[in-house]
Structure 1
Amino acid sequence: MTFGFAAALRLAVRIDTVNRQMAFAVRWGLLANAILIAGNAFSRKLLGVASSSMYDVQPHFFAAAVLLMAAYTLQRDEHVRIDIFSGSLGLRGMAWLDLVGILIVLLPLCVVAVWVTAPEFAQSFASGETRGSRESLSTFPAWIMKGMIPLGFLSLGAQGVAEASRCIAFLAGAAPARRIAQTVQQGDRP
């Protein structure tokens, strides 16, 4: 294996590790969200006390989980593919399909999403914007959710780079075919 491929594959492993650890943390966040939802329902129905901030946070937790778990989903090869194309392809065909999809769709989408959302996050953070509006009296900071959007697309883009480097190394004969069983042998621990 040449030095360039070895370095790219080491970087891919580091990206995998970061995204796996983030996914592990998000799982705990989902548990916290379930507890928050149950607690809010309990206090509203049995105690007659409702918190607009607690209610406002619930969909934000879920949206953050979706954004932050996208990279892990790609890493585990559990993303959606068009079966008409991928079902009849061999390993090399799948590597080409993945590489083209990453380079033509995924990475440009991630770049545009970060480019569009990062300034919104920065402005919201600088101004201390909250979620308060006519529909909600919540004081939940808006910059937290606005920050999850570029963070989610940055991690997804980084995972796309990792997957593209694996595809290129495989197509060049410098690495074996990536199979999910090999990738996840470490388990789902961070």
Structure 2
Amino acid sequence: MFLALSRAIDAVNGWIGRKAAWLLLAATAISAANAIIRKTLNTSSNVWLDAQWMLFSAVFLLCASWTLRDNEHVRIDVLSNRFSKRTRDWIDVIGHAFVLIPFCLIMIWTSVPFAQASIATNEQSFAAGGLPQWPIKLLMPIAFFMLLLQAISELIKRIAIISGRMEDPVLAADAAEAEVERLKAAIIVDEADEASPARP
């Protein structure tokens, strides 16, 4: 039951993260267009400047849980690689249970009134003619709720891995990647052998 919940959380956060990642392309396009217009026509707009940082913030917030799911967050590898696999798993369990989950709860608790106040006052940009600020502030409790769910999912998976009820998906992915690289190398060697002239 818990693993089914974990899979559902992973699927939802992965879907949201993949969709939100496209906002980075929009932010880049707006940034490039704004720079070109500013340099060529000597004009700009605070709407575009606000849109840039808001889109980037949305990507950062909405992709955080996806990043955690795929184990792409920053680790201190110099230290973690010195520990055994089981020790690293226990560090993850303790970290998720006593650091990440409480942190997410605190952030949700403090960001909800923050967002509510912004919505109630229809908070606008400090820059003249800029965009409303409340949409990005509303994303904060939503994003930390998603991260909380992902932390719970990771905790479920780590406990299942330690108890032997599931294989570590990170190790499985690493093994698959290593096999792909091995097959690529084998194909390159075979192609080189076929291309070389036959010896008498």
Specify the SS of the correspondent of 1:49.
coil
CA RMSD of aligned residues (A): 1.9
- 1:109 has 2:89 as partner: no
Q: CA deviation at 1:55?
A: 0.9
Q: 1:175 aligns with which of 151, 161, 166?
A: 166
Aligned partners of 2:154 and 2:148: how far apart in 1? 10
* Percent of aligned positions that are identical: 33
Counterpart for residue 150 of structure 2? 159
Over 3 Å counting, the alpha-carbon distance change for 1:24 and 1:87 in structure 2 is same
Aligned partners of 2:104 and 2:129: how far apart in 1? 30
Moved more, 116-125 or 167-176: 167-176
TM-score where L is the length of structure 1: 0.84
Could you say which structure has the larger radius of gyration? Answer: 2
Q: CA deviation at 1:173?
A: 2.5
- 1:82 has 2:82 as partner: no
* Cα shift readout 1:46-79 (whole Å, capped 9, x = no counterpart): 2233111111221222122112211111111122
Q: Is contact 1:19–1:155 with CA below 8 Å preserved after alignment?
A: yes
- 1:140 has 2:131 as partner: yes
Q: Is contact 2:69–2:150 with CA below 8 Å preserved after alignment?
A: yes
TM-score where L is the length of structure 2: 0.80
| Unpaired segments ≥5 residues, structure 1 | 1-6, 186-190
Q: Is contact 2:38–2:44 with CA below 8 Å preserved after alignment?
A: yes
Which structure has more relative contact order (CA 8 Å, sep 6+)? It is: 1
* Cα shift readout 1:94-138 (whole Å, capped 9, x = no counterpart): 21111101111111111111111111111211221111x2xx113
Q: Is contact 1:77–1:180 with CA below 8 Å preserved after alignment?
A: no
* Amino acid in the other structure paired with 2:150: Q
The alignment of Structure 1 onto Structure 2 pairs a total of residues equal to: 175
Q: 2:58 aligns with which of 54, 64, 84?
A: 64
Q: 1:52 aligns with which of 46, 58, 69?
A: 46
Q: Is contact 2:104–2:144 with CA below 8 Å preserved after alignment?
A: yes
Counterpart for residue 38 of structure 1? 32
Q: Is contact 2:50–2:130 with CA below 8 Å preserved after alignment?
A: no
| Unpaired segments ≥5 residues, structure 2 | 177-200
* Amino acid in the other structure paired with 2:170: R
Higher helix share: 2
